[in-house]
Chains A and B, each alone.
Chain A
Amino acid sequence: MASILAVDDSASMRQMVTFTLKGAGYDVTEAKDGMEALQIAKSNSYNLVITDINMPNMDGITLTKELRALPAYKFTPILTLTTESSADKKMAGKQAGATGWIVKPFNPDQLLATVKKVLG
């Protein structure tokens, strides 16, 4: 089954994302900020990375850039979690190399539909 790295500094969002994805049969690893995610990503491989944008230590935009610079993550889908108010953030994510975004607030069904879109 596909493995997913879920990055968010909010524990409740992480819980929700992980619970939803695990329920759908995905393997999920959690990271609480970009820095931690990058470390984890370097020592494992994932089919998809879902990351929040606003995080301490390393934000989602920087994480996306750093990941794209790694050969193993050149084409890995990366989705950013973004709020409707930050249209510019979607674009910033894309500029950094993100595949797409999931607009917050989202419910578990929307999350799964979006994940399915990139993982097929």
Chain B
Amino acid sequence: MSIDMEQFHQTFFEESFEGLDIMENELLNLDVGNADNESINTIFRSAHSIKGGSGTFGFTAIAEFTHVAETLLDEMRDGTRQVTQEAVDILLKSVDVMRDMLGVYKDGGDMDEENNNAVQKELEDLLGVEGASASDEGSNDSANETTAGGWQISFRPHIEMLRTGNDPVRMMHALGELGKIEVVVNISELPSFADLNPEDSFLSWEITLTGDISKDDIVEVFDWVEDECDLDIQPIVNESENVAEAPQAAASDTLATEKAEKDPAAKKATAKKGGSETASIRVGIDKVDEIINLVGELVITQAMLGQVGGEISEDEKHDESRMEKLLEGLAQLERNTREIQESVMRIRMLPISFVFSRVPRLVHDLSSKLNKKVNLVTLGEGTELDKTVMEKIGDPMVHLVRNALDHGIETPEQRLEAGKDETGTLTLNAYHKGGNIVIELSDDGAGINKERVLNKARSNGLVGENEELSDDAINDLIFHPGLSTAEALSDVSGRGVGMDVVRKNIKSLGGSVRVDSTEGKGAVFTIQLPLTLAILDGQLVKVGNETFVVPLVSIIESIQVKSDNLNGIAGKADLYKLRDEYIPIIRADHIFNMHGGDSTLDNRLMVVVEGDGHKAGIIVDDLLAQQQVVIKSLETNYQRVDGISGATILGDGTVALILDISGMIDMYKEKGTPEPTTPVTPPQGNDSDIADEAA
């Protein structure tokens, strides 16, 4: 039977990567010197599974490497080795090596032999020579004898042999397959019927096996019962053969018994945790995406029917009972569709712990590198978000953590001097808020040095010499491309990636990031992200003849423009006085170069939006319905478009574009609201030379 083992590789890789994550986490949480048995067991089990699987599936390099790590873990588990920081560090390195090897087997590439061997050497050094080799025992090394004539076997099971499920009849069959067999059964031990316990074994056999048979093959038949029977195998022709194994077997037997007794006790303690796992299946993400697409289609169809149904009811009021039924059916379809959509979306949801779990290792490595003491606290790890969002938020998170450790939290000396505990605290917190997930990353470090940031910004010309900024605005400067990497270059966070990239990446996910800081007390970075990239609650608006979707989360309010509140700056930009602040007015038809819109602002509808902490008013011609829309990418077949985050399909089958509010604000800042073709009729009291031009 030939089986293509490759079909199991995918599963093996997935579970092994997961196993490595578990190992890493448990290793980081190990209380050195007073290690929890359960944790060691968990780490051991993961290593053991990886070793077993990689051996089975032919990934020998991993199997061999893991074997050494496993040996070390086994000693820790047995209590014969102390859990030291040194050992934990080497094991962490081993995890990296294993991850690397798995990656190479999975995706191709070259192994870093040098590093792998170096780590293996470290493991072996720690184990000592005898430790490394001691574990390779157990295979039966008895010389493979053969005799031309055959064998005389005396097989005398112990009384309890049947209780392990071993059946002598099967052994006779197995022997029979090796050669010609003659069996004489000895029933002399059989008690009288009344005393006979059918679960006990009283019989013994004298077997004559003739043919060209190796002794190993015979021993193998009795392999499982060698300690449950008296076995004597003698060659028929050559009398000089002797079985020397019996005493050996007996010796190792007592040893095994001791171990066996110790082990289950240890194991029992391990059985508590992890019982709450829910059963799961692995499904390819492409299959889920396919269902999501289909459900998306269903939502559109449902919206289309709903619209048609609504129109019919206007026209054909006369047939009211049938009409009512149709509308009822449509309402039910809408409910069902919504529910299906929600359940399907949930398939893609994973707890944020998948991202958080990368952090402990990072903090461990960084704090030792930077000589800082950091206590990591994670909250809300069970908060779920879409897998796609999760995959993309990992790197920005890692960068923020690096930043917090490098620039936020001070050295123990500095902290003591500032009257703080020498150990800093980094807290990760995740929770749901509206249709968003909020991730907060807070540290109790030094906070942002506003003076330095402002000076830097002034010297770079980002901020005018006499321009005064609010505290929040100064803090926000760290996300500016011209500032973020400056003066921050260090071994740790100066990898050419700055806070501007963090913000850019988060924005590309439709999210936002801001910072609150108190000098001397610490800083809080707050990331807000949509739960999913697949659907969105939107407000449909009309600009000119086109329908656009404004994400509901960015809308603060919708108002009618009052001319009294309009102000111009240098005839170029319009500002609107909204209560006690001035917000820029963005004319969608202008920044999108659409023609034929109404050019006056007075009495127009304005949607007040917020993106990245900046408010703006977008002028629209009409406010239509609010509805949930399925997000479709423009990039699949076309490309990214500034100010547009995607598209959706409306109930009538037409396409509507989804506005990217932050992107529009950026566009506005870059080009203002230029007006090459049709100048705006300026609001009352505005700069007069524009009015002249228009006239």
Write the residues of chain A forming the contact surface with B, with a CB cutoff of 8 angstroms: 9-13, 15-16, 19-20, 23-24, 32, 35, 52, 54-59, 61-62, 65, 68, 74-78, 81, 83-88, 90-92, 94-101, 104-109, 112, 117-118, 120
Contacts and interface: CB of A to CB of B under 8 A. Distances in A.
B257 interface: yes
Given A57-B275, A97-B164, A91 B260 contact: yes
A85 B71 CA distance: 9
A112 B1 CA distance: 9
B260 A20 contact: no
Given A54-B45, A59-B264, A85-B136, 10 more contacts: A11-B14, A12-B8, A24-B1, A56-B274, A75-B167, A78-B165, A85-B137, A87-B138, A91-B257, A105-B63
Contacts of A85: 67, 70-71, 135-138
Contact of A15 (B8, B136, B173): B8
Contact of A11 (B7, B15, B67, B275): B15
A61 B55 CA distance: 22
B503 interface: no
7 contacts: A13-B53, A19-B7, A32-B279, A52-B52, A56-B271, A62-B267, A88-B256
Contact of B163 (A35, A74, A86): A74
Nearest to A95: B260
Interface SS majority for chain B: helix
A104 B11 CA distance: 18
B367 to A, nearest CB: 30
B56 A13 contact: yes
Contacts of A35: 271, 275
Interface size class of B (residues with CB under 8 A): 35 or more
A80 to B, nearest CB: 10
Contact of A106 (B56, B162, B255): B56
A57 B274 contact: yes
Contacts of A76: 165
B156 interface: no
B272 to A, nearest CB: 9
Q: Interface centre among B57, B256, B257, by most A CB within 10 Å?
A: B256
B224 A94 contact: yes
Given A16-B8, A74-B199, A99 B224 contact: yes
A88 B262 CA distance: 12
A118 B221 CA distance: 11
Contacts of A86: 138
Interface of B: 1, 3, 5, 7-9, 11-12, 14-15, 42, 44-45, 48-49, 51-53, 55-57, 63, 67, 70-71, 135-139, 162-167, 170, 173-174, 199, 223-224, 227-228, 252-253, 255-257, 259-260, 263-264, 267-268, 270-271, 274-275, 279, 282
Given A59-B267, A112-B1, A12 B57 contact: yes
Contacts of A13: 49, 52-53, 56
A57 B271 contact: yes
A14 to B, nearest CB: 9
A42 to B, nearest CB: 17
A100 B166 contact: yes
Nearest to A87: B138
Nearest to B173: A120
A91 B53 contact: no
A19 B7 CA distance: 10
B170 A104 contact: no
Contacts of B3: 16, 19-20, 23, 108
B138 A11 contact: no
A32 to B, nearest CB: 8
B186 to A, nearest CB: 22
Contact of B227 (A32, A75, A91, A118): A91
B137 A87 contact: yes
B44 A54 contact: yes
Contacts of B136: 84-85
B1 A108 contact: yes
A95 B257 contact: yes
A84 B55 CA distance: 11
A116 to B, nearest CB: 9
Contacts of B137: 85, 87
Nearest to A48: B165
B54 to A, nearest CB: 8
Contact of B162 (A75, A88, A109): A75
Nearest to B19: A10
A99 B42 CA distance: 27
B449 to A, nearest CB: 48
B55 A105 contact: yes
Given A13-B53, A99-B166, A88 B271 contact: no
A9 B49 contact: yes
Contacts of B274: 56-57
Given A61-B260, A87-B252, A10 B163 contact: no
Contacts of A105: 52, 55-56, 63
B218 to A, nearest CB: 14
Q: Interface centre among B48, B223, B253, by most A CB within 10 Å?
A: B48
B256 A12 contact: no
A47 to B, nearest CB: 10
Contacts of A81: 52
B138 A58 contact: no
B11 A109 contact: no
Contacts of B173: 120
A94 B164 contact: yes
Nearest to B11: A12
A105 B137 CA distance: 15
A10 B267 contact: no
A23 B274 CA distance: 33
B11 A11 contact: yes
Nearest to B134: A85
Given A19-B3, A57-B275, A75-B162, A12 B71 contact: no
B127 to A, nearest CB: 13
A50 to B, nearest CB: 12
Contacts of A68: 163
Contacts of A74: 163, 199
A77 B51 contact: no
A83 B48 contact: yes
Contacts of A24: 1
A92 B263 contact: yes
Contacts of B53: 10, 12-13
A62 B255 CA distance: 19
Given A77-B165, A88-B259, A56 B252 contact: no
A65 B263 CA distance: 13
B554 to A, nearest CB: 42
A104 B52 contact: yes
A65 to B, nearest CB: 8
Q: Interface centre among A20, A56, A86, by most B CB within 10 Å?
A: A56
Contacts of B15: 10-12
Contacts of A65: 264
